[in-house]
Amino acid sequence: MTLININPDDLSRPDRYKLICGLVIPRPIALVTTVSENGVVNAAPFSFFNAFSDQPTIVALGVNSRPDGGMKDTATNINYTKEFVVHMVTKDIAEKMNVSCVNFPPDISEIEEANFTLKKSYAVNTPSIKESLVALECKLHSIIPLGIDRNITLGEVINISTTSDVVDVDKNYINIEKYQPIARLFGNMYASISDIFQLKRLNYQEWMNDKELSKLKKNNNKEED
Ligand SMILES: Cc1cc2nc3c(=O)[nH]c(=O)nc-3n(C[C@H](O)[C@H](O)[C@H](O)COP(=O)(O)O)c2cc1C
């Protein structure tokens, strides 16, 4: 084994993309609905996606340009309506999500092709996807341009739409068995959550106590040897 250091600037664009996307994993997937100037509802998945702040409640999408340099419909629509809905992609809608990113001609609706059903959202005019377990209704917070063909779109979540199976509102508890979000790895690979473990977060006192305890255990073991 040899240590390697890679300056992304030394790589070709496709190799750089492949490396960063392949190493920063797993990434959750946002299935984003938006509405065009003509009222057409658009859906597309984004895995340059995560939550970044609780107050304000901010999620971010990394939106690229199309290969021809034009803006993706999602970006055009968000610029126009200043809102969007992020649906967390769970196992049960994974295949439909995959259909939604086929590059259909403009007159074909990816929502219909993927067999998704639209429903009215609670706090925004952009419709939501009925089959989704968690929808984050967002108003546009800001857009950070990154170079010529990339941007980060920040959305402020103004309503979380889910079900009582997924979130127990009284206990503020999430039922991960029911929720089952999937993540993107790289290429055509995805992952589901199947190996959950816990790590207790320690404060300094607890850390010191733990250290003392393991020292004692070590010494006891030595004496027994
Ligand atoms: C799982 C998955 C994740 C994706 N993530 C992104 C992403 O983070 N950013 C992006 O610009 N495109 C991403 N894409 C590609 C877009 O979904 C694709 O370009 C889509 O057709 C854009 O649709 P639109 O023009 O309707 O917005 C992803 C595709 C898939 C299947």
**Atom number in ligand 1 closest to CA 49:** 8
Residue nearest to atom 14 of ligand 1 (CA): 46
Domain membership flag for residue 223: no
Q: In what order do the strands lie in the sheet with 49-54?
A: 41-46, 30-35, 83-88, 135-146, 150-161, 57-64, 49-54
Residue nearest to atom 26 of ligand 1 (CA): 73
Distance 125 CA to ligand 1 centre (A): 22
Distances (CA, A) of 68 to 73, 117, 159, 204: 13, 31, 35, 54
**Atom number in ligand 1 closest to CA 74:** 27
Domain membership flag for residue 69: yes
Task: State residue 101 phi and psi, 5-degree precision.
Answer: -105, 10
- Three-class secondary structure of residue 158 per DSSP: strand
Give the pLDDT of residue 211.
86
- Three-class secondary structure of residue 97 per DSSP: helix
The encoded tokens of residue 106 equal 């403009």
Domain membership flag for residue 221: no
- Report DSSP state, residue 175: -
Q: Please give the residue range of the domain that contains residue 32.
A: 8-195
Low-confidence ranges of the chain (pLDDT < 70): 106, 225
Domain membership flag for residue 220: no
**Atom number in ligand 1 closest to CA 43:** 26
Domain membership flag for residue 207: no
Distance 4 CA to ligand 1 centre (A): 31
Distance 39 CA to ligand 1 centre (A): 21
142: buried, middle or exposed (CB in 10 Å: 19+, 13-18, 0-12)? exposed
Domain membership flag for residue 138: yes
How many domains is the chain partitioned into structurally?
A: 1
What's this model's pTM, rounded to 2 decimal places?
0.93
Look up the CATH number of the domain holding residue 26: 2.30.110.10
pLDDT digits over 39-83, tens only? 999 999 999 999 999 999 999 999 999 988 899 999 999 999 999
Domain membership flag for residue 209: no
**Atom number in ligand 1 closest to CA 32:** 27
Domain membership flag for residue 216: no
Give the pLDDT of residue 67.
87
Q: Which residues, listed in sequence order, are joined to residue 136 by a DSSP beta bridge?
A: 86, 160
